[in-house]
Amino acid sequence: MRSVYLDNNATTRVDPEVVQAMLPFFTDQFANPSSGHNFGASASAAIMTARRQLQALIGAEFEHEIVFTSGGTESDNSAILSALELMPDRTQIVTSAVEHPAVLTLCAHLEKTRGIKVHRIPVDRHGRLDLRTYRATLTPHVALVSIMWANNETGTIFPVADLANLAKEVGAFFHTDAVQAVGKLPMNLKSSAIDMLSLSGHKLHGPKGIGALWVKRGVRFYPMIKGGHQERDRRAGTENTAGIVGLGKAAELALSFMEDENGRVRSLRDRLEKGLLQRIPDAFVTGDQQKRLPNTSNIAFGQVEGDGLLLLLDRYGIACSSGSACTSDSPEPSHVLTAMNIPHISTKGVVRFSLSRDNCDEDIDHVLDVLPGIVSSLRDGSSFRPKPAKRRGPLGFFKPTGTDGNP
């Protein structure tokens, strides 16, 4: 049976070229990059190359603006804590109601333990930020604004460049969680008012456990992790050389695939979305359909349980997610869909399809063959029997696994 991976906002496949680039750093090139000898110097040079590869991807002005971290979560945490540390007189944070838990959980903790006031800017039913409320909450009490570049569940893109300009007017730091945007959207940070940006390796075909925080030159930064002098005193701990090299390679590849992402991947996504909406009555797309990541489609299928939907899709080799992977264990509806307050929507029957450059036309055909039958069988309580197998070339030949025609 065909297996179709459409859960790339949860994580991506490590590109084989990334693996190749990393391998020497587990064997011959094991030296500590901070060591004075030649072995160390060559590891250190590899890290410098990775810095430049990331710099190019996000359009940063200086390679030393990149601080390597253990991933998106650490980058988010360290940006927020740095701002609070450096502005002890300011006791407010502005964020959005639809941030990743890496931001929201820390903010809730700070609210509880340090009496920080957290403004969570609401969104409308299309997932767009309420700009009036945003402007109104910006005062000289705000230490930091942290608003994501693109939402991981709906793909909605926020106008972070404009939001950063407004934050500057009150002297607040502006941080953006760009984990879902880096590698998918062109960026030119050197000409923006953004101070700090988080990114993560495993969301762009790099390894897990490595990421970066970009800190614009001249922007003050206070380290969360203290110890040695690595990363120019901004992140202590012996560098994860292999991970950093892998992230650098992933950044280089992402830049070279950017057109593919915004052309071929986008049109695969659009074909999937149009095809499903045509074949399945009462289904609709959530989030801003104009300002949206090219790879993401979050679709609400009314009158069905999302869990049953995902289970049946999984049996047909299709991997996607209900809302965010970080919340799929809990029975509560996703905080993103709740914040959007869409009328007449059961937040249960919502499926997130997230594509990548690894997907092809046959993947989309497979989903379009299988999903409409699954939804209608779940809706009317009958057991799902797929249509007779259709021949679509060698890979598209689709056969149910069970002997009775049911999976």
Q: Which residues would be at the binding site for ligand PLP (CB under 6 A)?
A: 71-73, 100, 102, 148, 152, 177, 179-180, 200, 202-203, 211
The Cα 75–Cα 273 span in angstroms is 33
Compute the distance between CA of residue 167 and CA of residue 142 in angstroms, rounded to an integer: 9
Tokens of 380: 């009317």
Q: In terms of CB distance, is 199 or 375 closer to ligand PLP?
A: 199
Cβ closest to ligand PLP, residue 202 vs residue 348? 202
CB nearer to ligand PLP: give 14 or 374: 14
320 is catalytic: no
- Give least dist CB 236 to ligand PLP, A: 19
Whether the Cβ atoms of residue 15 and residue 253 lie closer than 8 Å to each other: yes
Question: Which residue stretches of 196-330 are H helix?
Answer: 230-233, 241-256, 258-260, 266-279, 306-315
Residue among 336, 342, 337, 338 nearest 104 (CA): 336
Task: Identify whether the C-beta of residue 221 lies closer than 8 Å to the C-beta of residue 199.
Answer: no
Contact 324, 396 (CB under 8 A): no
**CB nearer ligand PLP, residue 100 or residue 269:** 100
Going by their DSSP bridges, the two strands 211-215 and 66-69 should be labelled as antiparallel
Burial label, 210 (beta-carbon count in 10 A; 0-12, 13-18, 19+): buried
Q: Whole-number minimum distance, CB 148 to ligand PLP, in Å?
A: 6
CB of 146 to ligand PLP, least distance (A): 11
Cβ(269)–Cβ(297) under 8 Å? yes
> Shortest gap between Cβ of 53 and ligand PLP (angstroms)?
18
Closest-approach residue to ligand PLP (CB):
72
Q: How far is the CB of 203 from ligand PLP (least distance, A)?
A: 6
The smaller minimum CB distance to ligand PLP, of residues 242 and 276, is found at: 242
Catalytic positions: 326
